[in-house]
Structure 1
C-alpha cells in the first residue's frame, strides 16, 4: 500500500480533492488496493475549504508517506514555519513530493524547488518567479516532473497530475481506465499549454463554434474560408464578417493558432520529425510552420522540441 498525504490548510482550493477520486478509482482498477489517502494539516482537526465546508485532518507527525502533495489556494498566503519544517523533514524520507497551484509556494519556501523546473497556476507564476528566483518557473505548463518533485497548474490540473502519478506507478493502461471512469480525456500531457486557443477565441454563436470544431478536427485540410463557411452554414462573406466580430481574429489567423497549438502538442507528447508534424497539422511544410511558431512563440519549433526532449 502506497500512503499518499494531501497537505491542506484553511482556505485551500476544494477542487484539489478531486485527486482523491483518481487514486480511489485506481484502487478499483487493480487486483488489490494500491493507495491509501490521508488529509494532513499543521494542527489536525477540521480544516475549512475554499467552499466553506470543513474536512477532517490529522496533524503533522513522523509518519512516512510515499507521496506528499501540497494543495493549492485561490490566493497566495504566507507559508507557516511548521509547514516548511514538515516539508524539509519529509523530503528526506518521501519518495516524491508535489504541489497543486499555489502549493508550489510552500515547496519553494522550503527550498525544495531550488534549481528545479516548476509550474503553478498561470496567474500566480510571475509572483512565484519573483519571490523565488532560484526556481525555473514555466507558467505555461499543465504539470512538470523534475526529479522526485511534481508541480501542477491550478484547478483541474490536479486530475492530470494524479493521473500522471497513477500512470507512473501502475502503467498507462490503468491510467486510461481511471480516466474513462472519471469521464475525462486521458490526461493532458504535462507540457501542454494551460491556455487553449478555443477558449481564447470565445465564439458567441453555435455556427462559429461549429466552424472552429470542424477546423480542429480537420487541420490537415486546406480549411479555406469557403470550407469553414460551409461548416457554419453561412456564405463566405457573411462568415468572415461574423467570425471576426465574435473572435476578434480573421479566420486565417485563428486557424494558424489552432495549427500551432496542435503542432506544439505533437512535439511535446511524442518524438515526431518536424516534417511529419508540419504535414499532420496542416502547415504543409516546415518553413511555413517555422514562421508561424516565431510569430506565436518568438522561437522556431526545433527549439521547443529540443527543450521538451531535454
Structure 2
C-alpha cells in the first residue's frame, strides 16, 4: 500500500539535496548519468549566482559499493544522513534486480520509511522495482527498462506500467526507462526546479539531446530500422 505523503518544501535560497541510493550490483550509468546532470546544473546555477544541488551517494552500510560493471563507488551510510528535508531521492537499477531485491530487503524498508521525508522519490531503469517493493508505486503509472517489463508486471500487478515511456511523472514520484533514460529524467527534474533554459544549457554542456519527450517510445523506429538491417 502506498504511504501518505506530506510534501516538504526546500528552504528558499538553499541548495537542494539529491541522494543517490547505492547498493551492490547497481548499474553504474544509471547513477553516474543522473549525477552528472545535477553536477552540471549546479555549475551553471553557480554562474548565475543561484543555489544548485548538494549530491550525496549513500548505501545502507556505507563504504565501497561494487557496481555491476565492476567499478567501485564510495558511499556514506544512509543512516548518517541528517538532511531535513531530503529533496530528491534517486534509486538506480541493476541488471540483476531480482537478486538485488533479495539481498537488499533492508533498503526496501528504508525507502518505505523515508518516503514521507522526501520531496521527490525517483528511479532509473529497474530501480522502479525497489520503489514498487516499498509500496510507493501502487496505483501509479510508471516506467522501467523495456526488457524487464514482463517481470515487473508479474511482480507488481497493482502498478500501471507504461511500456513505452522514457520517463513518467506522478506527483512526487518520477520513474524512468533504462540506463541513459536517467539522463532524460534528470534533465526533466532540473527543468522542474529551475526552468527550461537552465536544463537546455546543461544538456548543451553535456553534449546530449536536450531531452527526449517523456512519451517517446523506448524502442524507437530509427533504432528498430537500424537493428533490422543487421
For Structure 1 versus Structure 2, the TM-score category normalised by the shorter chain is 0.7 to 0.9
Residue of structure 2 in register with 1:23 after alignment: 38
In structure 2, how many angstroms separate the alpha carbons of the residues matched to 1:70 and 1:184?
22
CA offset digits 1:70-101 (Å, max 9, x no partner):
11111223422311121111111100001011
Alignment partner of 1:184: what SS? coil
CA offset digits 1:154-186 (Å, max 9, x no partner):
111010000000000000000000000111111
Residue of structure 2 in register with 1:227 after alignment: none
In structure 2, how many angstroms separate the alpha carbons of the residues matched to 1:157 and 1:12?
15
In structure 1, how many angstroms separate the alpha carbons of the residues matched to 2:43 and 2:75?
24
In structure 2, how many angstroms separate the alpha carbons of the residues matched to 1:154 and 1:75?
13
- Residues 25 and 100 of structure 2 are in contact (CA less than 8 Å); yes or no, is this contact kept in structure 1? no
Residue of structure 2 in register with 1:242 after alignment: none
CA RMSD of the aligned region, Å? 1.5
| Bigger Cα displacement from structure 2, 68-77 vs 101-110 | 68-77
| Bigger Cα displacement from structure 2, 55-64 vs 12-21 | 55-64
- Residues 24 and 100 of structure 2 are in contact (CA less than 8 Å); yes or no, is this contact kept in structure 1? no
Residue 52 of structure 2 is aligned to residue 34 of structure 1:
yes
Q: How does 1:1-310 map to 2 (within 5 A)?
A: 1-16=15-30, 17-30=32-45, 31-61=49-79, 63-64=82-83, 65-76=86-97, 77-79=99-101, 80-202=104-226, 247=229
Provide the TM-score with structure 2 as the length reference: 0.86
Structure 2 unmatched runs, 5+: 1-14
Larger fraction in strand: 2
- How many pairs were matched up? 206
Following TM superposition, the consecutive aligned residue runs of length 4 or more in structure 1 with deviations greater than 4 angstroms are: none
Residue of structure 1 in register with 2:3 after alignment: none
CA offset digits 1:92-133 (Å, max 9, x no partner):
110000101111000000100000001100000111111011
Alignment partner of 1:123: what SS? helix
Compare CA radii of gyration and give the structure with the larger one.
1
In structure 1, how many angstroms separate the alpha carbons of the residues matched to 2:59 and 2:143?
23
CA offset digits 1:213-234 (Å, max 9, x no partner):
xxxxxxxxxxxxxxxxxxxxxx
In structure 1, how many angstroms separate the alpha carbons of the residues matched to 2:214 and 2:184?
8
- Residues 141 and 168 of structure 2 are in contact (CA less than 8 Å); yes or no, is this contact kept in structure 1? yes
Determine which structure has greater relative contact order: mean sequence separation of CA pairs < 8 Å that are 6+ residues apart, divided by chain length. Answer: 2
